Every structure is written in C-alpha cells, then in structure tokens.
Structure 1
Amino acid sequence: MLARVELEVRHLRALCAIADTGSVRKAAVQLGMTQPSLTTQLRRIESTVGGLLFTRSQHGSHPTPLGHSVLSRARPIIAEMAALVAAARDAAVGVGGLRLRIGSIGSRAVTGWLRRIHRRLPDTDTTIHIEVSSNTLLQLLATNQLDVAFVHETAGFPLNVPEGVERRVLIAAEPRFVSLSATHAAAARPVIPLADLAGDPWIVDPTADDEATALRRAFMAAGLDPRLLHVRDNTTAAELVACGEAVRPAAPTADPVPGTVIRPLSGDPLTTQLSLASRRGSLPLRELDALYADLTAAYVDVAGASAAYRSWLDRKGSPLLPSAGSR
C-alpha cells in the first residue's frame, strides 16, 4: 500500500515538474530521469486519468484545463507528503537526536570523509546516498532530502543548481585521466595524447551528467571522432578495459583494477570542478566549515595515494599535497 502511495506521489511530482519548467526535457533533468522515461510516465498518467494533461508544441508543454485541475489538487498533496516524510524521519531519529544526511558522487574520498565525520560526531546518525548524477544530488538537497552533497561539474557544462543551494569549491579543475589495459600500446607512456586513443572505443556512463558530451567535444576539438560505448555497470566496464576492448575516463584518485593502468591525458582536455553543496542556512556555518575540512583532508589522502596523480600535481606545482611543487 505504502509503495503504491509513493509511486502515485512521484507521478504527481512529475506533473508539477513539467508544469513548472514548461518542458518535458527540462523536467526530466530536474527529476534525474531520461526524457523518454518521463514521456512514457506522462502517457501512463494521462491514460489513467482519461485525458490529455499537457499540450505539446515547439514552445514547450502547457497544462490543458484538465491538467490545471489535476495540478491544483496535486500541489497540496505533495506538500503534505513532504511534511509527513520529514516528521517521520525526525521521529525515527528520536526526540532531541542528531542527524546528518550526506550525498556524494562516487569517489575514493568518501570512505575517509565518513570516517572523519564519525570520529568528530560520534553521536550523530549519519547516512550516505551515492549517485552518479550531481544534478540529482542537487535536487535532493533542494527538496530537503540531503543536508550536504559532494558534487562535480564538468568544465563547460554547468550544473542545474536550484535556488537556495550553494556550493563551496574543493578543487577548481580536477583532471580526468584515462583507464586502459596494462597491455595497451600507450600504457607505458607517463602522459598519453588523446590522438593515441582515437581508435579505441571509449566507455561512458549514460547516467553521468554530460560525460559523453564532454568527451565528444574534447575529441572534436582535436579533430577526432571517437566511438562511444554506453555501459552503466561498473564491473562490466572495468572488465572490458582490462581485456583491452575499450578505454574509459577515470578520476585521478581512482585505484586501477587488476590488468589496467590509469594515466593523465596530454593537455588535460577533460576537467571537473569538485565542490561541497548545501542548502542556504540548513547547517551552522561552523559545521559546514568542519565538513568541508573533513572532505578536503580525505581527498588529500587519496590524491597522495595515487602515484600518477602525485606526479601530475608536482608538474603543475599544485599546493594540494606537501610534495607538490617541490621540483
């Protein structure tokens, strides 16, 4: 019964998102969905209510009279459900209890970040929510489902930051490295030109924000045309790289799986900005400062554990690590 209620509320949120953004495409981005999935969901809802809820044109999607009627009833329901969920979560934590809801992209820094938080706040109920999409994490922040989130933004592709959400930059431009088979002809090179990998299929995660578009743009700037493989499963992607079937972008802090190496790309054609996001006023400034310091220390630890990244930081003269800039 509860699952059915939650499903119906999600449907109502989808209708409100389409009405608020005026576009199925924009609403899908806001909800962390694909446009085809949201379109299918909308058709199911319209089939259930027995009529069109939106008219579609080249200027966007606009509610029909039936749509306005449904939306006028949907918005109070969504607000009541949000209040109910918040009250239930507060009760679950206990009267006077402390809670910290963290969101994050996948990163080796997360483990160390949590360890520091647990050590500093032993009596706080801390939870972690991992997502591939930073846009999804920002939406969870905006709707009070998270307190802070570790997010990344691909250079040239700004995130959809909701009103009231703020970010504090951790790393202004983290380079994206490449993961390739240890037997690859370019694996012995300390830095690899993008052109040397132009003939390889590149694995991208279709759910990751702008990963495929950014990679294609980098190749186009170099006058190259890559072949992209859309693979969502991380285990399968790692196996394809290890056996030499493909290469894929990798964080510089990533730990190479057996049979692979991780190398920088010449000229750093792909970079991302890392930041800590929060809702304005949701946490005391002192606590935000402490969470930022915890995350920074955790990131420095994993950066120092990567020989390839340490070498890159030294070449750039970065002050991130104690040894950086020493040469």
Structure 2
Amino acid sequence: MDLEVRHLRALCAIADTGSLHRAARQLGVAQPSLSTQLKRIEQELGGPLFRRERTGCRPTPLGLVVLGRARPVVAEMRALVAEARAAATDADGPQLRVGSTASRALAGWLRRLRARQREPVLQMDVSPNALLRMLAGGRLDVAFVHEVEGSPLRVPDGLTLRVLIEREPQFVSLPADHPAAGRQEVRLSDLAEDRWMIDPTVDGEWDAVHRMLRAAGLSPRVLHGDYHTAASLVATGEVVTVCQPTCQPRPEMAVRRIEGDPLGVRLLLAARTEGELDLVFPELWEAYAEVAREAPGYREWLDRVGV
C-alpha cells in the first residue's frame, strides 16, 4: 500500500475531530470504510497511530510524528487546488500570490488587500525558507515569514526584506488549570516537570527551544507534533508549548509571558522589489497591530516596553 494524500487527509480528519465517526462524516465516507483504511495505514507504517478511548481517538507518539509531516502536505495540496481553481476562474489577470507562515495577522491582512481590489492567492508553509525559495523562483509575489532567534534564514539572492517586528517575544501556552497559569509571567522552572511539544518542521524552532530550556537548566520530555495538535493536547493537560504572543487564550488554555523573554523571532516581509513591498506592507502592519492589541498579555508587554 502506497500512502496517498487522501490517506493523510483521513489521518488529519481523525486527529482534528477526535472521532472516527465525526471524521467519516467530515470526509463523506462510511465509518467502517474509514476504520479499515486506518488499519491499513497503521500496518503500512508499522504501529498504531491512534489510541481508541471512551472519549474518542487520541494520537499515539507515532501518530504525532506522522501528523506533523502529514499536515503540511495536506495544506499544500489544498493550497494547490485553491490556486488552480482561482487561476481557472480569474478573468482579470494574475492575482497577488501571497506566502505566509502561520500568523493571526493573516486574516486581517488578506481582508485589507481585498478591500484594495488586490485579490490574494494564499500559500501557507511552516518553513519560511521554503517560502523564500518559492518567492525567488517566481511562484510567489510576497512572503510573510519569521526568523527564529539564533537560526538565520537562508535568503536567496535577489530578494528584498522589510522588517515588520524586530523582535517578537514568544509566549507559552499551558493548561488553564496549571499552577503556573495563575501568574501573568511564567518562570521556565515552573514548567520543568511538564512535557513540551515542538514542531521540528519549523525552521530553527527545535534548536531555539532546546537552547532556551538548556540555558534554564531544564531537560524536559519533548514530543514532536504540529502546533494544531499541540493546542489540542495543551487543552487536555498533556503538554505545554511555545506560542505566538498574539495567540488567543481559551477557557481550557492559558497564554502567558515567559520571564525574561528568552525566545524571540523577527517578522519579515519579503518580495523581489521595494515597489512590491510598498504595495502590501501598510496593510500587513495594520493587521498585525490589530491582533497585537487584541491579545491582553501581549498588549501589556507592548505597553511595558513602549512599543
């Protein structure tokens, strides 16, 4: 059995819904058919990907590794289909091809671009270096990326960069009932006994988080997985994880500053010319400022440092 995108899409659906029944309904297939497909995938990969529990399906450690690789592939395929359909129906010529790593500012940026009659086609990727290569190769017009502290991006020749935020501190996401969640600023030592989840596919993230933990004298247990899965596991008390300061807390999840701001990223907009940057940078800045001010912990941090 050769794994196909449809198999990866099925795994993501099971993880996202937490249930074979709900995943089957989302995918438009019968539950017995999805169960059989899952068994074949697990046989192909050599182990169980989900634990079947009374409350539903939860990824095993192997499942988390597979999902971490599957999600970017599924997202890439969705973007490819969306771009192809947009190109097929666009009667007004080429659209603005936007690349981006994950950001809460993205929705507001796209909305503002549309308001200026610049209909964007979006390409998401967890790898900023991959987006920069796509930009240099003419497959994107602009790319909004982040550079993890201590891991410089490999910027191809011919690209122009503009800094949106010189240093955005990274916060931590933890269960709402965690003892450290009662404080607005968390010490890393308060999280020494927790499992951490890191996405190893994000350029520089693995090394940066490990440097931060080692500098604090910590050697916690680490799981690999994408941050969509991490958010679900944080909510159930399984892990803590680094997150963007604009991340919105939920009833079951708290977002807190890390004492001393030991981890940061630089936010950059890239294009091939300054003129292309001028056309889209103001809207990106407005969108980022909007979500930054909507995040209570980050708003307090910005006020404190005078931004």
Q: Is the 8 A contact 1:182 1:260 kept in 2?
A: yes
Q: Which has the larger radius of gyration?
A: 1
Indicate how the Cα distance of structure 1 residues 165 and 104 shifts in structure 2: closer, same or farther if over 3 A, else same.
same
Backbone CA RMSD of aligned residues: 2.1
Distance (whole Å) between structure 1 residues aligned to residue 86 and residue 121 of structure 2: 14
Equivalent position of 1:289 in the other structure: 278
Question: What are the residue-to-residue correspondences of 1:26-175 with 2, within 5 Å?
Answer: 92=88, 97-121=93-117, 124-175=118-169
Q: 1:186 aligns to what SS in structure 2?
A: helix
Give the counterpart of 2:260 among 267, 283, 295: 267
Q: Which amino acid aligns with 1:253?
A: T
Pairing 1:207–2:201 present: yes
Q: Is the 8 A contact 1:166 1:278 kept in 2?
A: yes
1:90 is displaced (CA, Å) by 12
Indicate how the Cα distance of structure 1 residues 98 and 197 shifts in structure 2: closer, same or farther if over 3 A, else same.
same
Equivalent position of 2:222 in the other structure: 228
Q: 2:266 aligns to what SS in structure 1?
A: strand
Indicate how the Cα distance of structure 1 residues 107 and 94 shifts in structure 2: closer, same or farther if over 3 A, else same.
closer
Q: Which amino acid aligns with 1:303?
A: A
1:256 is displaced (CA, Å) by 2.2
Q: Is the 8 A contact 1:93 1:99 kept in 2?
A: no
Q: Is the 8 A contact 2:174 2:234 kept in 1?
A: yes
Distance (whole Å) between structure 2 residues aligned to residue 132 and residue 317 of structure 1: 30
1:93 is displaced (CA, Å) by 7.3
Q: 1:101 aligns to what SS in structure 2?
A: strand
Give structure 1 regions of 4+ aligned residues with deviation exceeding 3 angstroms: 88-96
Q: 1:97 aligns to what SS in structure 2?
A: coil
Pairing 1:239–2:232 present: yes
Distance (whole Å) between structure 2 residues aligned to residue 93 and residue 145 of structure 1: 19
1:125 is displaced (CA, Å) by 4.0
Q: Which amino acid aligns with 1:211?
A: E
Distance (whole Å) between structure 2 residues aligned to residue 158 and residue 140 of structure 1: 18
Unaligned runs of 5+ in 2: 1-83
Q: 1:264 aligns to what SS in structure 2?
A: strand
Pairing 1:306–2:295 present: yes
Q: Which amino acid aligns with 1:312?
A: W
Q: Is the 8 A contact 1:98 1:125 kept in 2?
A: no
Indicate how the Cα distance of structure 1 residues 305 and 94 shifts in structure 2: closer, same or farther if over 3 A, else same.
closer
Distance (whole Å) between structure 1 residues aligned to residue 194 and residue 216 of structure 2: 15
Which digits, 9 at most, give the CA deviation of each residue in 1:153-191, with x for residues without a partner? 001110111111221000000000000000001001110
1:243 is displaced (CA, Å) by 1.7
1:119 is displaced (CA, Å) by 0.3
Indicate how the Cα distance of structure 1 residues 187 and 91 shifts in structure 2: closer, same or farther if over 3 A, else same.
closer
Indicate how the Cα distance of structure 1 residues 267 and 310 shifts in structure 2: closer, same or farther if over 3 A, else same.
same
Equivalent position of 2:213 in the other structure: 219
1:96 is displaced (CA, Å) by 6.6
Q: 1:145 aligns to what SS in structure 2?
A: coil
Distance (whole Å) between structure 1 residues aligned to residue 240 and residue 227 of structure 2: 14
Which digits, 9 at most, give the CA deviation of each residue in 1:93-127, with x for residues without a partner? 77872421000111110000000000012xx4420
Percent identity for Structure 1 against Structure 2? 50
The structure, 1 or 2, with the larger RCO (C-alpha pairs under 8 Å, 6+ apart) is: 2
1:239 is displaced (CA, Å) by 2.1
Task: Tell me the TM-score normalised to structure 2 length.
Answer: 0.69
Q: 1:296 aligns to what SS in structure 2?
A: helix
Distance (whole Å) between structure 2 residues aligned to residue 246 and residue 89 of structure 1: 39
